[in-house]
Structure 1
Amino acid sequence: MGDETEPAGESVEVTVPAGDAGGRVDKALARALPDWSRQRLKVLFDDGKVCVNGSTVAGKVKVAEGDVIALFLPESPSTKVEPMPVPLEILFEDEHLVAVNKPCGMVTHPGAGVVPPTLCHALLAHTDGQLAFAGGEERPGVVHRLDKATTGVIVFAKTDEAYYGLVKSFSERLTKKEYLAIVAGSPQLEAGSILEPIERDLHNRTRMAVREDGKPAHTDWRVVQRLNEHHCLIHCRIHTGRTHQIRVHLSHLGMPLYGDSTYGFRPRHGAEWPENFFLHARQLEIPHPISGQKLVISAEPPEAFEMQVKKFAQ
């Protein structure tokens, strides 16, 4: 496949699942790492920073089930985030915090494999630099996050006092978080709760998984609409905030998010892969970090989400 040498530096490893066996390595990585941009992956291939079973490979090389893909990352030159003007839909703002309707495809904060602008960059520009730095220069204002493809309500702290107040509310579960999801599957029940613990997948460190030794996780769900024989619109309320919690729990129940290849979605009968999965943070209820007054912040699903619902319901 190439040279039997591995570049030095921090690495990320992915084990090829059965569903990607026989396909190209670049396609397998794009599905395993949905938060990574294709351009970022292409640069790593071009720079010889991708190996399969210890051998440097090009993106077109085919992989087999169980192959280990390793990406070797260059060191980050700086952690400081600079303002970058980007149009945003502001849902609520005062001198203490700002809530945004996060668009699909925008990452919450900088990190490995992330190409700016992120919400942090955009909000630094919007607030003229008035975001809390109590959590570190690399994540100004961040108190919680949404995945790259997830849309909807997200809040940022503008002062350190607000930052600590918001972190306290999230950690003590004083928030009420509601989501809408389009899933592939048709559950027998109309509603239910899942309390399966979640932890890192032992075979793929970029994924989470239901594990007996995991951290407690609690998701309530109900069917909003049975769109057709194979797809449903689901409402979720999460009582905990584990990484990828809704994606993991719904997949565990046999109804992965439509388009979420990381957690088991596969197109039916050779249909095309959706560009993104469909998960929307519909509403966040939280005490104001300074006044304690209840804030209820809502956002309607984006047009692409609504169009997909209508398409399945036809």
Structure 2
Amino acid sequence: MENKRSYKVEERAGLRIDRYLAEELPELSRSYIQKIIKDGGVSLSGKPLKANYKVNPGDVIELVLPPAVEPEIQPENLPLDILYEDKDVIFVNKPKDMVVHPSAGHTSGTLVNGLLYHCKGELSGINGVMRPGIVHRIDKDTTGVLIVCKNDLAHNQIAEQLKEHSITRRYRAVVCGNLKADEGSVDAPVGRHPVDRKRMAVVSRGGKRAVTHYRVLERFGEYTYVECELETGRTHQIRVHMASIGHPLLGDEVYGRGKSSFRLQGQVLHAMILGVVHPSTGEYLEVEAPLPGYFAEVLEKLRKGC
């Protein structure tokens, strides 16, 4: 079934239509949008547009997305760092540069591919064939612990704890600058950036409440080693919140200060501790992922004043 959408141009007039739609639909690649345009799926007043058309204020752009076809996700024998596992849940230490679950145009090499092989397909099906077992995510370049559910009962119970903000989630990060206070909180709503739709931002309208608590662990003058605890779990929350108070994460090329001298691959952010009430036993279970090598090296260099 075709998916029809319309967009009234109120901001970003003058952009090419392919770029405008790429910002409105960050989940789709620009090349895919260009293909839709080429196939006649984007129109204005009933007339198909070309990719180089520049949008004007008041334009009502009509977009027809082709029917979604979910690919079959294949199990893959990938190296996984299993921190804890039982019949209901599995805690995995995700490395850098690994995507959590498949998406359009990216169906292999993900954590889900590896889990399908490791668990022999025994993962909860609530989130569909693209995200079996997945109840929460961390970014591709963020390392650390994730919980994955093997059955629907466990999935529902962990999802409810996430909804109630009762799960313990503590991260380690290195931020730019010297934080004034030893601890504090950022309570600011997070939503899509009003101009760059591929980014998140602290927004005054349309966002969801987001709360991050932080605590200084070590100071290095130009940088600070901190622990961040999530009260809520919004997309890019820690990265956006710390940037909003003038202390973006070291290595964060999206919300930070560009490339650093540390030759990093993305932000220095690690999901270190995850605690939940076990869905079967009812007992509190807390799992810790040790700092990865790259993070330890950054701290060693900072301690030496490099």
Measured after TM superposition, the shift of residue 184 of structure 1 is 1.4
2:271 partner letter: A
> Is 1:291 matched up with 2:274?
no
Structure 2 Cα separation of the partners of residues 123 and 217 of structure 1: 30
Question: 1:19 aligns to what?
Answer: none
Question: 1:129 aligns to what?
Answer: 121
Question: 1:66 aligns to what?
Answer: none
Question: 1:22 aligns to what?
Answer: none
> Is 1:220 matched up with 2:213?
yes
Distance 1:230 1:76, change over 3 A: farther
Structure 1 Cα separation of the partners of residues 86 and 77 of structure 2: 19
Q: Which runs of 4+ in 1 moved over 3 A?
A: 4-7, 47-50, 53-56, 73-77, 112-115
Deviations, residues 41-92 of structure 1 (Å, cap 9, x unaligned): 9xx59x9899xx9549xxxxxxxxxxxxxxxx99865343221110101011
Question: 2:153 aligns to what?
Answer: 161
- Structure 2 residue ranges without an equivalent (≥5): 1-14, 38-49, 54-64
Any idea what SS the aligned residue of 1:262 has? coil
**1:1-314 → structure 2 map (5 Å cutoff):** 11-13=21-23, 44=31, 54-55=51-52, 77-112=69-104, 114=106, 116-213=108-205, 214-226=207-219, 228-267=220-259, 271=261, 274-314=264-304
Any idea what SS the aligned residue of 2:135 has? coil
Structure 2 Cα separation of the partners of residues 196 and 266 of structure 1: 24
Measured after TM superposition, the shift of residue 215 of structure 1 is 1.2
Structure 2 Cα separation of the partners of residues 311 and 278 of structure 1: 13
Structure 1 Cα separation of the partners of residues 246 and 143 of structure 2: 23
Structure 2 Cα separation of the partners of residues 211 and 6 of structure 1: 25
Structure 1 Cα separation of the partners of residues 179 and 266 of structure 2: 22
Q: Greater CA deviation, 158-167 or 209-218?
A: 209-218
Any idea what SS the aligned residue of 2:171 has? strand
Measured after TM superposition, the shift of residue 224 of structure 1 is 0.6
Distance 1:127 1:194, change over 3 A: same
Measured after TM superposition, the shift of residue 200 of structure 1 is 0.9
Deviations, residues 218-252 of structure 1 (Å, cap 9, x unaligned): 111011111x3211111000100111110010001
Q: Greater CA deviation, 153-162 or 259-268?
A: 259-268
Measured after TM superposition, the shift of residue 94 of structure 1 is 0.5
1:95 partner letter: K
Any idea what SS the aligned residue of 1:154 has? strand
2:131 partner letter: R
Structure 1 Cα separation of the partners of residues 302 and 262 of structure 2: 15
Structure 2 Cα separation of the partners of residues 150 and 289 of structure 1: 26
Deviations, residues 157-186 of structure 1 (Å, cap 9, x unaligned): 101111111111111112111000011111
Measured after TM superposition, the shift of residue 6 of structure 1 is 6.7
**TM-score of the aligned structures, taking structure 1 as reference length:** 0.76
Structure 2 Cα separation of the partners of residues 119 and 225 of structure 1: 32
2:123 partner letter: L
Measured after TM superposition, the shift of residue 266 of structure 1 is 2.5
Identical columns (%) = 36
Structure 2 Cα separation of the partners of residues 150 and 100 of structure 1: 13
Structure 2 Cα separation of the partners of residues 161 and 194 of structure 1: 34
Distance 1:113 1:277, change over 3 A: farther
- Structure 1 residue ranges without an equivalent (≥5): 15-32, 57-72
Structure of higher CA gyration radius? 2
Question: 1:69 aligns to what?
Answer: none
- Contact conserved, 2:141 with 2:265, CA < 8 A, in 1? no
1:107 partner letter: V
- Contact conserved, 1:133 with 1:141, CA < 8 A, in 2? yes
Structure 2 Cα separation of the partners of residues 303 and 76 of structure 1: 40
Aligned length: 264
Structure 1 Cα separation of the partners of residues 151 and 108 of structure 2: 23
RMSD of aligned C-alpha atoms? 3.1
